[in-house]
Amino acid sequence: MRRWTLILLLALIFSTPACTSQPAALERTSTPELTATSEPGATPAPTRQPSPEPATSAPESSAALAASPTPDEMLNARQRMVRTQIRGRGVTDERVLAAMETVPRHEFVLSETLDQAYNDHPLPIGYGQTISQPYIVALMTEMLGLDPGDKVLEIGTGSGYQAAVLAELTDQVYTIEIIPELAEGARATLDGLGYDYVVSMQGDGYWGWEEHAPFDAIIVTAAPDHIPQPLLYQLAEGGQMVIPVGPPGGYQSLWLISREGDEFHTFNWGGVRFVPLTRAEE
């Protein structure tokens, strides 16, 4: 009887399939394609449509990264991000591409969205704010045309990611954030990553930072419904500003503004979507 019992147990062991767990697929959020628009009286810039990402057999995002990804996995995800989302869409400034590949974007996102850090869409960072889509960060940075030593002002520090990218291109970066908790968190992250030379302030970015003006470049990462006049006059001669302008909750236009004396030349790059610029009285 023992012999037959042993035979039956062995048969059950070798006939039962092993159980393997499969990671649940994360939904990839698509973002609307940027389309060029023009407003009356403005001179439109030549339009540039984003190129579609090349088809690959492997997912081009960090969604497949393990719960505790290694530095190599993050580097590989960052390199894929630059290759497919940024260079593949027409950003050509090698310094900007190098900055996007260097700055660890995953350090600037919330822990619950860590596996989406290098995906092709914005991510929430709390308090109704977001960290912008990687392509938009690279595009707006390239539009500024920064040279080493240029003084640049960012309106809307958020997580600190855009400021870190700028700090890879110049050592004179000033950034303003109106939400105290975000300003404090960004400061801690920037310091922890060695960007302690970025100068930050908590306040209403609509008024700029006159104490340190003029600026060779100004970048606004939230959308006002009109172009703030104080920012225009804090631009240096020959300086450039990149700013989304439009109604809250809808699509805006991304403007490139350059200063020549008391004249300002505007170019409408196309349609984008940003969170509204928060004001002190709101």
Residue with token string 């340190």: 212
**Active-site residue, 132 included:** yes
The one-character DSSP state at 180 is: H
Residue 167 near residue 151 (C-beta atoms within 8 A): no
Residue 265 near residue 258 (C-beta atoms within 8 A): yes
Single-letter residue type at 66:
A
Torsion sign (Cα): 129, 133, 134, 140: negative
Catalytic residue (choose from 132, 159, 200, 253) = 132
Name every residue whose Cβ is closer than 8 Å to that of residue 138 and which is 6 or more positions away in sequence: 86, 91, 96, 97, 100, 165
Token pair belonging to 121: 């869409």
Closest CA to 252 of 91, 34, 51: 34
Q: How far is CA 247 from CA 58, 207, 271, in A?
A: 38, 19, 12
The C-alpha angle 25, 26, 31, rounded to 5 degrees, equals 135
What's the start-to-end Cα distance of the chain, in Å?
84
Instruction: Give the Cα separation of 246 and 37 in Å (integer).
Output: 12
Closest CA to 114 of 80, 82, 67: 67
Residue with token string 């439109």: 44
Name the residues annotated as catalytic: 132
